[in-house]
Amino acid sequence: MSINRRIFALTVMLLLQLLINGCSIEDSNNQKEMQTVGSVFYKEAEFSNDIGGSPVSCIGMNNKNEVVAYLKDENKLVSIGQNHVISMDLDIRTDTFENVQLEFDTAGNIYVLGQDIIADDYKKIIQIKRQLIIFKAQGEYSERNNTTKEIGEGYMPLKDEIIEKIKIDSKGNLYALKLSGYIEVFNNELESIDVHDKNRYADFDIDEHDNLIVLYRKQWNKNRIEKIDSNSGKTIWQEEYNGAAAPNYIYYNRNTKNLYGLNSKSIINIYKNSKVFDYSQISIVEGASLFLVNENEDVYMLIHNGGTSTLKKYVRQEMKADTVNKQEQKELIVEITFDRSNIISNAARQFEKDNSSIKIKVVENDIPMSDYVKKLNTELLAGKGPDIFCTYLYDLSDCAKKGLLADYNELIGKDDTFDVNDYFSSILYGIKYGEGLYAIPLTYSFEGFLVNEKLLKDKGLTIDENWTWKDFYKIAKTFTNNDSNIQCYMLPKLTSTLVLLESQIIHDWDYYLNKGSKTARFDTDEFIDALHTYESIYDKGVMHPDIDEITIWQSAKGAGNEHILLMPVSYCSYFDIRFFGNIFNGNLKMMPEPKGNYTTSRMFTGKNISINNNSRNKDEAWQFVKYLLSEDVQKKWSVNSFVINKKASEAGINEIIEYQNQSKKENEHRITEMDIKQLDYIIENVLNKNRTSDAINRYLWSELRPFFDKQISAERMAEILQNKVELYLNE
């Protein structure tokens, strides 16, 4: 199915949010590692004060570079790197607040905002109690600056009122970023005096002139930072970021007047457009949130690892490169296209700890995929390139034929510690060329349909997992010639019907094209028939005239869904079932896409990892790939992705079910054992081919445009395609 549909599906699906019970300052006995950006190195530093493993929920820094942390379990503030402790006495609850934020004003006074979040049995928030306490710069408690407010349901869901971050302007006003993405301004009595609600923000800060610096919520892998004049409200400066470089959080240091951004890999100086610190190369960090950068560009970060959080400090040092690590190490270069939650980077850091003679450099591709493929192919042909690379849809055939890629069959054959029975075999071997195995998917997804079983029964139709695209169009004809009293449509109003033709031809790609013999079958009756059946989807009665895919996702159980037979979806994980189940009020069957009419191909899309056959460290590269395929690493993907390791997949299912059992949300589909079995059957018995996209495939869709626009007939289109593909094959 189309990439557009995949992007849409990934956008609308909510990710599992695991509760984090505070965070703790990490044990200082951990091995300290070094990292370089140019001539600058960062060392993970110890904290001079001993506060053990006490949970920390927030940190703040004053204009003297003094950092204060709130210890959740002990209910107190601690000055990091100094000897004094600032005691607190919060009296809304007998224990600790569920949520605490802190910040300094320009005079060094500490503002502490506590939030007590009260929910009902269904975890719906019904009340929030807020308390603002202001400490003087010396740490004394000021009774007159102790304000309590209670809020109930308003015009927005109460959960959106939870405050995630606070900043203080020069007048002592408190700026609060709420979960809704809006910024509300309060005075010292917690009375609202202004609201910035025209846009939704991911983060914000305030400069020395009280100008507001905002980070817009990311849209389609892009976000924007903007500085807004505090008096006129006009934009002073703005910058847009794309891809992995886009910051997720920002921090402004009023002393140095530098603005910093934190993304999934590094900290950047936004004003200087330079990378400050690539933390992914020295620390195991699954998720970083709050961070501070002092005048020396030392970094404090709250990071999350495996459900717990730690506070880390990294000290900037100027050193010569040859003083960093005198131990001789083998270095592996690993290039990846996308590393959600830094799982591969974290695995690299752990692998290094277990294999001290190996250093792994993870490089995340930040150029368009088409440009990266050209670059990669050029490097491999020249005997260069990364030791390991991980991509989606990359066509390996030419490189495999030229011996540029390591054959996993050989590596597996001589490794007694790797058991192929630990993995889903059809997924593991889904991208073989001849007898060689040159790529293995770390994770994968596949396209398919949700079937409205009630409507299917009412129409007297049957569909099984072996259906073909011919079967698909036979069903379409029953809706086109609909003489039933049952109001029904085969499909919602599709945003693009090209996906239907694309999927039909892709599954039969090996039938229509033989690159080995340089022959094509695009001028055949079979291909012409595929074009004609595609045209028939526009016939009256097949698609719903009003309800489209977006409407269905937004409304879930909204009116009209029950009249639609098939809903196209991307299956990315077992967790998806919780959202799919609401589409047809639980009366659904999960189906794969139809298989090809002339082949048995059933496609899935893998996040494929390959080894450069010219690597000088091929055995070490295999050991790292094997580690990425292990149960421990695969479990980290298993909630939000399908994984190839069977035990990790089972662990992910158990985690989802456990989360579901703890959740009491109403109007939400509960995953059943039968739901799991439906997807298991597809994975183990249906999927068999790892999808790639070669140049001819991409060329084909650009050439089909005149047919899509109804400028030429199917017969003429087939003739033109055949001639052009033959010329292309023989160039």
Longest dimension (CA), the chain: 86
* Cβ count near 402 (within 10 Å): 11
User: Which residues touch 270 (CB under 8 Å, ≥6 apart)?
Assistant: 225, 239, 247, 250, 259, 260, 261
Confidence category of residue 493, pLDDT binned at 50, 70, 90? confident
Q: Could you report the per-residue pLDDT of 538-590, keeping only the tens digit for each? A: 666 788 888 888 778 776 555 567 888 999 999 999 999 988 888 887 788 99
Residues in CB range of 724: below 8 A, 6 or more apart: 699, 703
The number of CA neighbours under 13 Å toward the Cβ of 427 is: 28
The pLDDT assigned to 182 comes to 96
> CA 582 to CA 558: how far, in whole Å?
9
Residue 91 has pLDDT above 50, yes or no: no
Average pLDDT value for residue range 243-265: 91
Higher pLDDT, 121 or 119: 119
- The winner for highest mean pLDDT among 61-75, 173-187, 228-242, 569-583 is 173-187
Mean pLDDT value across residues 75-91: 63
For residues 85 and 623, the model is more confident at 623
- Strand stretches in 479-549, DSSP E: 491-493, 513-514, 519-520, 543-548
Confidence label for 458 from pLDDT (cuts 50, 70 and 90) = confident
As a whole number of Å, the CA-based R_g of the chain is 29
Res 2 pLDDT > 50: no
Separation CA 42–CA 36 (nearest Å): 7
Highest mean pLDDT (candidates 70-84, 279-293, 324-338, 426-440):
426-440
Higher-confidence residue of 595 and 480: namely 595
Q: What are phi and psi of 10, to 5 degrees?
A: -65, -30
pLDDT given for residue 145 in this prediction? 62
Structure confidence at residue 555 (pLDDT): 65
User: What percent of the chain has a predicted confidence (pLDDT) above 90?
Assistant: 46
353-404 pLDDT, tens digit each: 999 999 999 998 878 888 888 999 999 999 999 999 999 988 888 899 999 9
With a pLDDT cut of 70, the percent of the chain lying above it is 84
The predicted structure's pLDDT at residue 261: 95
pLDDT of residue 395: 87
- Residue 12: pLDDT above 50? no
Of residues 341 and 302, more confidence is placed in 302
Most confident by average pLDDT, 48-52, 311-315, 492-496, 570-574: 570-574
Is pLDDT above 80 for 632?
Answer: yes
Q: What is the pLDDT of residue 8?
A: 36
pLDDT per position as a tens digit, 194-211: 999 989 999 999 999 999
Which tokens hold the place of 278?
């690539």
* Range of weakest confidence among 228-237, 499-508, 536-545: 536-545
Above 60 in pLDDT, residue 90? Answer: no
pLDDT at 16: 28
Burial 220-245 (b: 16+ CB within 10 A, else e): eeebbbbbbeeeeeeeeeeeebeebe
Tens of pLDDT, residue by residue over 136-170, are 876 555 544 667 788 876 656 888 999 999 999 99
- How does pLDDT run across 664-703, given as a tens digit for each residue? 666 678 899 999 999 999 999 999 999 988 777 777 777 8
Query: What is the band of 32 on the pLDDT scale with cuts at 50, 70, 90?
Result: very low
Quick check: helix, strand or coil at residue 595? strand
Instruction: Give me 642's structure tokens.
Output: 């399908």
Task: Calculate the average pLDDT of the chain.
Answer: 83
For residue 289, what pLDDT band results from cuts at 50, 70 and 90?
Answer: confident
Residue 500 has pLDDT above 90, yes or no: no
Note the pLDDT tens digit of each residue in 399-455.
999 999 999 999 999 999 999 999 999 999 999 888 999 999 999 999 999 999 988
Alpha carbons 11 and 9: distance in angstroms, whole number = 5
Per-residue model confidence (pLDDT) at position 319: 63
